[in-house]
Amino acid sequence: MKYFTKEWYELCQKTYAHLILEEDEQAESFSEEYFQKLYLEKLNEFLDSWRDVYKIEQEPFYKEKFSKQFEDRFIYRQEHLKKILPEKILKKIADIRVFVLDRASRQVINDVTGFCNDNEKLVDKTIKAYNKYYSEASKSFNKDMVENINFHDCLITDIKQTDEYLSILFDNSGGFTDVYEIRLENYNIIKQDASLENSWWLYDEVYKVDDKYEIHALLENKNIGLIEFTASTENISFKHN
């Protein structure tokens, strides 16, 4: 990847931490009592939302199951925010647990908003740079080969590989395409960090090099993490639903 790299994608994750923060003066100082009260309030909201869903579906509601789910998400988000926020902001947060529950002081909200906005500008700059490149480069592309490469949020379900071709099959129900298979003929894998199966296709780039097409893709597997995949091919074909 030249534009939509792993580093760029990780920067994308640092653009929205401010969106659901609510100002609360009680978040300005550490208080175990305040945290416990807020945690219970948020937990009950979460349980009520799922309880309503199960009423509609006429299925039994298991409070313990969803309480554990809420706790797991709380712990995961706490660790995630510790990784993505800079130390100078973390030091201003009186209780990271309260921040995870979307409450913060006005100063912290301002700092996080500035941090996210700066990152968003960098993310957008990369997108614009790739779009500018693609607008010019695509004039020499075979549109039948490249215009169907749009697999964002599609799940790779299977790989079929021979010496002559490589086929990638998708569950495209969560994506924006009716293509369920892309086939690369007379191909060469240039880079592949890990197995592609059970990975989500996030972003892609297309290049033409020595009369062949290069497809660069950034994928994510919940067990492995981010994966980069690059392959060159003489011909690209698609199968549609």
Residuewise pLDDT in 10s, the chain (241 residues): 999 999 999 999 999 999 999 999 999 999 999 999 999 999 999 998 888 777 766 877 788 898 999 999 999 999 999 999 999 999 999 999 999 999 999 999 999 999 999 999 999 999 999 999 999 999 999 998 899 999 999 999 999 999 999 999 999 998 999 999 999 999 999 999 999 999 999 999 999 999 999 999 999 998 889 999 999 999 999 999 9
Q: How many residues are given for the chain?
A: 241
pLDDT at 27: 97
Tokens of 188: 């060469």
Give burial (CB, 10 Å; 0-12/13-18/19+) of 113: middle
pLDDT at 222: 85
Domain residue ranges of the chain, discontinuous segments joined by + = 6-121, 141-240
pTM score: 0.82
Tokens of 4: 């939509």
pLDDT at 111: 97
